[in-house]
Amino acid sequence: MSCDFIQLANSGVQELHPYQPGKPISELERELGITNIVKLASNENPIGISSMAQAAMEKEFSELARYPDANGYYLKAKIAERVGVDINQITLGNGSNDVLELIARVFVAPEHEVIFSQHAFVVYPIVTQAIGAKKVVIPAKDWGHDLEATAAAITPNTRMIFIANPNNPTGTWVKSAELKAFMDKVPEDVLVILDEAYYEYVEDKDYPQTIPWIKEYPNLIVTRTFSKAYGLAGVRAGYAVANEEITGLINRPRQPFNMNSLALAAAEAVLDDHAYLQKALDVNKAGMEQLEAVFKELNYDYIPSVTNFITVDMGKPAGPIYQHMLEQGVIVRPVANYEMPNHLRVSIGLEEENAKFIRVLREMNK
């Protein structure tokens, strides 16, 4: 082969490494030949799919030879009603990751700067580098966002700021007064993307309810997903809420069928399955208490979390511990790629799944 195809790629893409997802159960079964594996690596909803969402998808089966509704009218209408905005303020995506990347590609060019926090979601640096823009990484404060330092880092070249609230992989969150004070400092030509993938799990009364803020801050975009609390990670469904002008721009290059028929139907249905969501939240709360208790008992430092995962300091490089847990049939998530080499991120599972992780952890501490 004489052509060096790497040199044909954009310079930012040449230096990228593919996103590394949590290891699938099937892959571990193939590698080690073991069964009864527990996956606590990808922040998935452990209670399974909503029965209402499943029924809605089954109803779509006979129509799968036809294209989906490119505009996603009924899902947009349901979301708009639920969050209190006009339907023309909604952009749908193949998961919120799709929308995050789409927003960046619409507004960011190589001459721009994009600001995000250390230990923040890996998609932010990936999309920034792929575009060829300058990454501005703000050192974390108590494992979370330092919004004062973020505001101070804004320059005339800053085009976009990503804030994950709550943050992945640390589980930290920014409170309402702090975020409001930050928004007051941001110039109107700098877009602030609030990634609220874990919104439904947060019970803190000081957690900001940001969608109504869009009227006051037209440079604010809020993204959410159906992959976590709503249990639709496998079909991919997410959305953004912004003012109508921004939404119209985002929708210009959006692929017309970026959500398939099953995802549209499932997402619309699960929004009405209030019992399912409450069960998911109850299971998560109990599981969080279960893991926090054992970390305290065994003297592991952990980062307090308002999400469906908890990140724990193993006190030494976590890679070998992760590998040992794999061999015991427990998949968790190492986060060395987030500059946290001693930490593991553990998704909250069912009681018995958490118990298996705890058994392995106890055996390691004997």
Residue 366, pLDDT score:
72
Please name the residues in contact with 303: beta carbons below 8 A apart, sequence gap of 6 or more: 143, 170, 171, 172, 310, 311, 312, 313, 343
Reported as a pLDDT band with limits 50, 70 and 90, residue 25 is confident
- Name the strand (E) or helix (H) holding 267: helix 261-270
Cβ proximity of 20 and 338 under 8 Å = no
Cβ proximity of 211 and 85 under 8 Å = yes
The yes-or-no verdict on residue 281 having pLDDT over 70 is: yes
The yes-or-no verdict on residue 199 having pLDDT over 90 is: yes
SS3 4: coil
The yes-or-no verdict on residue 18 having pLDDT over 80 is: no
Domains of the chain: which residue ranges? 10-39+275-365, 51-272
Residue 89, pLDDT score:
98
CATH topology of 10-39+275-365 equal to that of 51-272?
no
- Name the strand (E) or helix (H) holding 92: strand 90-93
Reported as a pLDDT band with limits 50, 70 and 90, residue 336 is very high
Reported as a pLDDT band with limits 50, 70 and 90, residue 26 is confident
Residue 9, pLDDT score:
62
Which of 3.10.20.600, 3.40.920.10, 3.90.1150.10, 3.40.1350.10 is the CATH number of 10-39+275-365? 3.90.1150.10
Mean pLDDT of the chain: 93
The yes-or-no verdict on residue 202 having pLDDT over 90 is: yes
The yes-or-no verdict on residue 3 having pLDDT over 90 is: no
Architecture of domain 51-272: 3-Layer(aba) Sandwich (3.40)
Lowest mean pLDDT among 22-36, 107-121, 133-147, 301-315: 22-36
pLDDT digits (tens, 9 = 90+) for 72-120: 999 999 999 999 999 999 999 999 999 999 999 999 999 999 999 999 9
- Of the candidates 186, 149, 144, 113, which has an alpha carbon nearest to the alpha carbon of residue 307? 144
Cα–Cα distance for residue pair 145/162, rounded to 1 Å: 10
Residue 35, pLDDT score:
79
SS3 352: helix
Could you give the percent of the chain with pLDDT greater than 70? 94
pLDDT digits (tens, 9 = 90+) for 130-166: 999 999 999 999 999 999 999 999 999 999 999 999 9
**Cβ atoms within 10 A of the Cβ of 183, count?**
20
Reported as a pLDDT band with limits 50, 70 and 90, residue 167 is very high
Q: Which two tokens stand for residue 236?
A: 């991919």
The yes-or-no verdict on residue 196 having pLDDT over 90 is: yes
Q: What is the mean pLDDT of residues 298-313?
A: 97
Residue 324, pLDDT score:
94
Cα–Cα distance for residue pair 362/234, rounded to 1 Å: 32
Q: What angle do CA 230, 18, 98 make, to 5 degrees?
A: 40
